[in-house]
Amino acid sequence: MLSIKNLSAAISDKEILLGITLDFEPGKTYVVLGPNGSGKSTLAATIMGRPDIAVTDASELAWNGENLKALSADKRARLGIFLSFQSPLPIPGVSVEELLRCALDGEKDLVALHKELRGFAKEIGLDEEFLSRSIHDGFSGGERKKVEAIQAAALAPSLAIFDEIDTGTDTDAVKRIAEFLSAHLPQEATKIFITHSPKLIELLRPDSVVILKEGRVVAEGGRDLAVKTIKEGFEGIK
């Protein structure tokens, strides 16, 4: 379980998260909503351990009882934590398959991984050529997000965070990505989706919805909260 208590965080001395307390349980799907600048992406990056985010001493961040604050991002990844960026970065000279081969060295048979990735590409509707091209280099928005989904499926994380996996994708691609992730992320994994997309929320059928505003949790609830918020906006939520 991911346990967050009184989490406050800043980037370049600007306070962005202000005393967030949340629990995320295994096997459940969460949606995080909030207006632009509410701290959603910072929350995701803080959980993953982005080095330039300063977390206060009073903040508590634990994954299955282990203090994440003491661990760098690579060590958090080794515990099974994964983050998909809102704007995935191109990495010239490094292919998707090459990166995953390095990441899964000793954990997965390389031939099996090669076959698995091609199966994933076919299923999500991506030409397998993208697996051997430099990551995200010249990819469209939809292609980038499909590659992010494939990376997540291959890594099989126990905590998967997707920061606007729907951004830059058309309706059909959103559906395909949502169905792909539902099929391939481990059942027991905790899944957190940051999104503004009613379509994605409808497809994900989240167990719980969290609303952030100005760095604070202002509401928690079920799917109905997401529907109401998207319909009425964030202004009425204090």
Partner 1 sequence: MEQITADVDDKTHFKIMIFGLVPFRNIKFEIRNFFGLDELYRLSTLRTL
Chain contacts with partner 1 (rule: CB under 8 A): 45, 48-52, 72-75, 77-78, 82-83, 85, 89, 91-94, 98-100, 102-103, 134, 151, 155
Please provide residue 197's backbone torsions phi and psi, each rounded to the nearest 5 degrees.
-95, 115
Report the nearest approach of partner 1 to the CB of residue 76 (Å).
8
Report the nearest approach of partner 1 to the CB of residue 66 (Å).
15
Please provide residue 15's backbone torsions phi and psi, each rounded to the nearest 5 degrees.
-75, 125
Q: Which residue type does 230 have?
A: I
Nearer to partner 1 among residue 65 and residue 92 (C-beta): 92
Q: From the centroid of its chain, how far is CA 106?
A: 25
Nearer to partner 1 among residue 152 and residue 201 (C-beta): 152
Report the nearest approach of partner 1 to the CB of residue 163 (Å).
12
Alpha-carbon distance 43 to 64, whole Å? 18
Nearer to partner 1 among residue 34 and residue 88 (C-beta): 88
Going 171 to 177 to 181 to 184, the CA torsion angle's sign is positive
Q: From the centroid of its chain, how far is CA 156?
A: 13
Report the nearest approach of partner 1 to the CB of residue 105 (Å).
9
What is the per-residue DSSP string for 60-99? EEEETTEEGGGS-HHHHHHTTEEEE-SSPPPEEEEEHHHH
Report the nearest approach of partner 1 to the CB of residue 102 (Å).
6
Contact between 95 and 133 under an 8 Å Cβ cutoff? The reply is yes
Report the nearest approach of partner 1 to the CB of residue 152 (Å).
10
Nearer to partner 1 among residue 114 and residue 133 (C-beta): 133
Q: Which residue type does 93 have?
A: G
Nearer to partner 1 among residue 27 and residue 90 (C-beta): 90
Tokens 């701290």 appear where? 39
Report the nearest approach of partner 1 to the CB of residue 11 (Å).
12
Alpha-carbon distance 86 to 172, whole Å? 19
Tokens 């497809």 appear where? 203
Nearer to partner 1 among residue 93 and residue 236 (C-beta): 93
Nearer to partner 1 among residue 39 and residue 49 (C-beta): 49
Please provide residue 60's backbone torsions phi and psi, each rounded to the nearest 5 degrees.
-120, 135
